[in-house]
Structure 1
């Protein structure tokens, strides 16, 4: 650290330890400083060398990324009925006692919790997701934040009244020096390749689609989203930081995330925001109604026009908009919704898009909105509870965190969550990939199967597909 910053840090650490010893109560100490540019992916590699579990977030359409190392504190709730409330209560309790030095109040600095939820807490967990609870958030020991060209480094350390100041200072300074040192970076010349790819029960998945269409012909269910799994085996252990970088480089307009637990890492590049909160400003977006991109500008524009005018896609899109509006009106005021959608274009697909903006009511937080929105019709179906019951009973897959809320929140009252689509659970030299489709009464199983193959391609392309 520079001399001035060094003096500031040591003074804040000493004061924090004194507060903990005086109150005889353990507390979270958080210290943020502005630093020179540091490579986030190199930071993640250094974190792995120090045996720290890693977290990562990159926001769509914004110059904002975070890389985390370690778990200074963990928030987890297995109780299905109140897991959102429990995490929020524990988060608020943690902040109420925390000792925070952060003169910047910039998003992703100070005390930051990154994490997510499982898709359905009532679905029995299988061995595949053994390391990922129904909900889990971690406050990393060290966070590197890059926003609008500026870099910040945050230290979070849970301090006990029995801790020694000298040993604390040495530990934090040594880890800081290691994590922020970009020297010695070497290009990895080894190439990740897929040696074996296994589709998990594709014929049974198609039969489940037939069951879903039969149910919809005889009930009030309009849509059921069904997902499937592909299992990969690589020629070597996957390099997580390298995969995250390739996702950021290739999947524009997507939220890229990584969350490591017990040696497994859940990663993905999803286009779908669930909710963003900054102070009391709330933004949710509806992304429903899909078409491919064209091979020429003229064809692209024609496909977009057809998508915009298509009654079926507009009806599906409007249903999601009204669901989001209803949730917002429950927890917010000043809800604003455009009269009609626009077409947003991504690398391989284009979607109907409508933003929904509002003001958060004082008695509610970001988890209130998440609890109202999840699962959206895009990942569950409609009506919600009937579709969920079918998925829980008939879908072969344990979705784990796939299709569920994943994101972050900080002590500045900022936070953002996305829907964990286009994702993979990486387990050293193996991985499970997930993709799903919205099934309606006239869905054709083979066509839905082909659609999932397209949705799997973004992740396959960064994992060594030939």
Structure 2
């Protein structure tokens, strides 16, 4: 823990105080050490005693997980240039940071975690009042578990008027709470009510969309709906994350706090990942339930692979991602046909994308080009977004937006925030959507969204 290397941490605080006094500006410091392996859910649980602001990320494809507690720095941007403005702020912050890190593992040191809303510039409607257009947080304490090894990063902003011993004492006290906090007894909330928001009206909007597509107004649009849930007591976020990890092993898990509200989910859909300049993206569109037995599962999978509506929907996504990746990468590899991607409740059509990022481009450049994919917005992209704004019966907020992380070494990964819920105390709003094309059936699409709500419902009251 920190107290084993206090002298090293004192040295970088001294350096930061000198720089802060000379420049008359705050100075970010970052200190990394390897520690005994930690249970991330206990760490997340204990974090509430340090700071209500907590973030969580778990990879779908490897043993890689991060838990952030507190906020050394937050970056907010809005408007049409929010991705580029955030990149500018991030570049300035990480380049000036004083870092002590002998490990150089991804996801350690100066790391920003958070996300973006689906649309920028909207007046925030319920239940999204507490979530800005974008929010990326550099945690004060960051636990990184990678290949069964734990690392602890401590990030702090040093001001010219700060006193070294006061900073050390505060961090040591907070560290003690994190690693020797209260007992962790997972408790899944008891659900007392689940209320669908105008299901018949939503089906009517799907029917209208099919007519508009046939009339040539657009090719495809994704329409989402909301399910409101109430519980007997406040939701235990750490317990929900632990349950999601057990039930949704092939999904990316995330939780992002903003002003006491938590946006949480288990999404199967990666938007883009960059590691050592290698870019990996995912085309995931086209959905069918899992079977009750192996024979039924195989039959449904075969049906999905040969279904015209789902293949068309998937091809929209493949082509759009190809165009976006081509703009900033080379050596682009995309298979000619999809395969099945099985989850606990659903199976999807899946096509992987692999490429090399061109010099001068960043992960956020790719995210800006990809968001929203046809799997979350529609085609043509801007026409579909305008259609959603005019016709969808809710404010999406961060639902279907990019959520993820990026580190000082230019590694990072963002997923699409689907199969998700916004939790505030004893209340939650769950979201699910479906792709509408000209031959979509409103009742079938409604049933598909009901299946997509199940991953979150299963950990929110059973």
Task: Give the TM-score, by structure 2 length.
Answer: 0.96
Partner of 1:462, secondary structure, is: coil
The whole-number CA distance in structure 2 between the counterparts of 1:342 and 1:263 is 40
> What residue in structure 2 maps to residue 411 of structure 1?
408
Q: Which residue of 1 aligns with 2:319?
A: 322
Asked whether the 8 Å contact 2:188–2:236 carries over to 1, the reply is no
- Structure 2 matches for 1:388-427, cutoff 5 A? 388-427=385-424
Report what 2:7 is aligned to: 7
Name the counterpart of 1:460: 457
Distance in 2 (alpha carbons) for counterparts of 1:395 and 1:319:
21
Q: Report the Cα distance in structure 2 between the residues aligned to 1:2 and 1:225, rounded to whole angstroms.
A: 48
Displacement of 1:276 in angstroms is 0.2
Q: Structure 1 residue 88 and structure 2 residue 87: aligned?
A: yes
SS class of match (2:31): strand
Which residue does 2:160 correspond to in 1? 161
The alpha-carbon distance between structure 1 residues 439 and 3, as it changes in their structure 2 partners (threshold 3 A), is: closer
Residue 191 of structure 1, CA deviation: 5.1
Where does structure 2 lack aligned partners over 5 or more consecutive residues? Answer: none
1:289 match: secondary structure: strand
What's the counterpart of residue 96 of structure 2? 97
- 1:368-387 paired onto structure 2 within 5 Å: 368-387=365-384
Q: Give 2:36's aligned residue.
A: 36
Equivalence for 2:62: 62
| Residues paired across the two proteins, number | 462
Distance 1:177 1:206, change over 3 A: same
Q: Is this contact kept in 2: 1:58–1:66, CA < 8 A?
A: yes
For the residues of structure 2 that align with 1:454 and 1:281, how far apart are their CA atoms?
34
Q: Distance in 2 between matches of 1:210 and 1:123?
A: 26
Q: CA offsets, 1:234-263, max 9 Å, x none?
A: 100101111111111111100010001111
- C-alpha contact (below 8 Å) 1:277/1:283 kept by paired residues: yes
Residue 304 (structure 1) shift:
2.4
- Match of 1:244? 241
Sort the Cα spacing of 1:102 and 1:161 in 2 relative to 1 into closer, same or farther, 3 A: same
SS at match of 1:16: helix
For the residue of structure 1 that corresponds to 2:84, the secondary structure is helix
8 Å Cα contact 1:402-1:421 kept in structure 2 = yes
Which aligned pairs between 1:132-281 and structure 2 lie closer than 5 A? Answer: 132-181=131-180, 184-188=182-186, 192-281=189-278
Counterparts in 2 of 1:144 and 1:7: CA distance versus 1, 3 Å: same
- What secondary structure does 2:292 align onto? coil
CA distance in 2, matches of 1:254, 1:456: 14
Q: CA deviation at 1:318?
A: 2.4
CA distance, structure 1, for counterparts of residue 437 and residue 161 of structure 2: 61
* 1:150-198 superposed Cα distances (whole Å, 9 cap, x missing partner): 000001111111110110111112112221226x52425x651111221
- CA gap of 1:315–1:394, structure 2 versus 1, over 3 A, is closer
Whether 2:282 is the aligned partner of 1:282: answer no
Measure, in 2, the Cα distance between the counterparts of 1:333 and 1:366.
Answer: 14
Q: CA deviation at 1:382?
A: 1.1
User: How much has 1:279 moved relative to structure 2?
Assistant: 2.6
Q: Name 1:107's counterpart in structure 2.
A: 106
Match of 1:351 in 2: 348
Q: Report the alpha carbon displacement of residue 312 of structure 1 after superposing the two structures with TM.
A: 3.7
What does residue 331 of structure 1 align with?
328
Q: Secondary structure at the match of 2:439?
A: coil
1:424·1:432 contact (CA, 8 Å) conserved in 2?
Answer: yes
Is the CA contact 1:123–1:392 (under 8 Å) kept in the aligned structure 2?
no
- Tell me the SS of whatever aligns to 2:204: helix
Of stretches 367-376 and 18-27 in structure 1, the one that deviates more from structure 2 is 18-27
**Which of 342, 347, 352 is residue 339 of structure 2 equivalent to?**
342
TM-score by length of 1: 0.95
Distance in 1 (CA, whole Å) between partners of 2:328 and 2:135 is: 24
**Counterpart secondary structure, 2:127:** helix
CA distance in 1, matches of 2:311, 2:438: 17
Aligned mates of 1:404, 1:181 — CA distance in 2: 35
* Deviation sequence 1:344-374 (CA, Å, 0-9, x none): 2111222221111111111111111111111
Mapped to 2, the partners of 1:201 and 1:301 lie a distance apart of 35
Contact 1:110 1:412 in 2 (8 A): no
Deviations 1:34-57 (A, max 9, x none): 000122111112211223311000
- Counterpart secondary structure, 2:81: helix
| Conservation of the 8 A alpha-carbon contact between 1:55 and 1:258 | yes
The structural deviation recorded for 1:291 is: 2.2
Q: Are the counterparts in 2 of residues 21 and 161 from structure 1 also a CA contact under 8 Å?
A: yes
SS in 2 for 1:400: coil
